[in-house]
């Protein structure tokens, strides 16, 4: 059985070994992220929708500074998700429109950030309200086979990768999983609840990867529709479902543990219950949380994946897009071992 530390930090890959080794985040500009909203600003309403570029700045700090400038309370500022500090990111925020206009917001700047666009909008931006993220990453100090890396990139573009939660989800020194060391929950309990669900999910995914059906449907499964949170029960596997699976239109799912029915039956339900039972401390913690159970796709589609070798020796650039909630570092680790994880990715 795989240890919980490995499931958090280095779960099994789709193909072993990786194609080589490299460093990520050697410079903050080596990690660039652009949010894709998936909707257009309404052009009217009681909020400003702001597109912000930040460099080596924390999302929470930027939100607090926007609140200060707008004369509102910090919780009134909306953003879809946390983004890296050690990175260059473009991210959307909303602030209540209690003063000022576009001419007051567009072009404003603060420490580590600048406002690129400002639009009127009808409501506060909620967490998770993203179509996805576009990444541009530079890997430096690559050692290994260029041909193997290029081949792995081509395979992933067609087949996707296991949709693990990245190490960032589990906190510095795995502090969000302190209960597994017999220690009390540290800091914000919400981080511990999220980490507990994430580790159980990673464990189920690793089990299905080992069994060879992480990217196949099983009877009793709940399948996910690509690009949405919708799922449906799979009673029997027919040729239409096989074709949709091969086309990356649907995916098998794993559990985000919580209250209520899981929605799966048979072999899938037995596997998930068996895996979760290995972590009684996490199940006990989640009973206090009372979050409803949910499903997450086991497979991550990597859109528009390209690899470009740079003039600098042993450096390359990766570009790709992911749906909201997926981790860029999970894609990279399927390609190379990361020797340098400077900084902590707050979100994917």
Task: Give the residue numbers marked as catalytic.
Answer: 84
Phi, psi of 268 (to 5 degrees): -65, -45
Rounded to an integer, what distance in angstroms lies between the CA atom of residue 147 and that of residue 232?
40
Alpha-carbon torsion angle 13, 14, 17, 21, nearest 10: -60
Question: Residue 50 in contact with residue 93, Cβ under 8 Å?
Answer: yes
Cα–Cα distances (Å) from 260 to 147, 285, 292, 295, in that order, read 48, 16, 6, 12
What residues pair up with 187 in beta bridges, in sequence order?
none
* Closest C-alpha among 181, 185, 173, 253 to residue 215: 253
How would you label 264-292 residue by residue, b for 16+ Cβ within 10 Å and e otherwise? bbeebbebbeebbeebeebeebbeebebe
What strand order describes the sheet that includes 222-225? 231-233, 222-225, 250-256, 294-297
In the beta sheet, which residues pair with residue 292?
Answer: 259
The tokens 């992911």 sit on which residue?
322
Distance CA 85, CA 16 (A): 31
Tokens of 31: 């990690």
């Amino acid at each position: 059985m795989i240890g919980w530390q490995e499931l958090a930090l280095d779960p099994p890959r789709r193909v072993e070994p990786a194609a080589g080794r490299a460093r990520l985040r050697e410079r903050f500009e080596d990690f660039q992220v652009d949010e894709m909203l998936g909707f257009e600003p309404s052009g009217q309403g009681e909020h400003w929708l702001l597109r912000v570029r930040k460099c080596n700045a924390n999302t929470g700090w930027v939100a607090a500074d926007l609140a200060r400038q707008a004369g509102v309370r910090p919780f009134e500022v909306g953003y879809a998700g946390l983004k890296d500090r050690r990175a260059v990111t473009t991210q959307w925020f909303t602030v209540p429109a209690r003063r000022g206009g576009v001419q007051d917001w567009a072009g404003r700047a603060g420490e580590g950030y600048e406002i690129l666009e400002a639009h009127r909008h009808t409501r506060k931006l909620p967490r998770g309200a993203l179509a996805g993220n576009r990444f541009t990453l530079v890997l430096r100090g690559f050692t290994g086979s260029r041909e193997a890396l290029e081949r792995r990139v081509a395979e992933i573009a067609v087949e996707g990768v296991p949709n693990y939660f990245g190490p960032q989800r589990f906190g510095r020194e795995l502090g969000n999983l302190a209960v597994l060391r017999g220690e009390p929950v540290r800091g914000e309990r919400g981080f511990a609840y999220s980490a507990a669900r994430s580790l159980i999910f990673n464990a189920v995914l690793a089990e299905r990867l080992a069994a060879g059906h992480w990217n196949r449907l099983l009877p009793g499964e709940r399948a996910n529709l690509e690009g949405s949170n919708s799922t449906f029960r799979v009673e029997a596997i027919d040729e239409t479902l096989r074709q949709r699976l091969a086309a990356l239109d649907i995916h098998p799912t794993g559990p985000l543990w919580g209250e209520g029915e899981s929605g799966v039956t048979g072999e899938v339900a037995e596997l998930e219950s068996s895996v979760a039972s290995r972590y009684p401390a996490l199940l006990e913690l989640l009973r206090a949380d009372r979050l409803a159970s949910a499903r997450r796709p086991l497979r991550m589609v990597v859109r528009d994946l390209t690899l470009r070798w740079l003039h600098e020796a042993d450096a390359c650039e990766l570009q790709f897009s992911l749906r909201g909630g997926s981790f860029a570092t999970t894609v990279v680790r399927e390609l190379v071992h990361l020797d340098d994880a400077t900084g902590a990715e707050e979100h994917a």
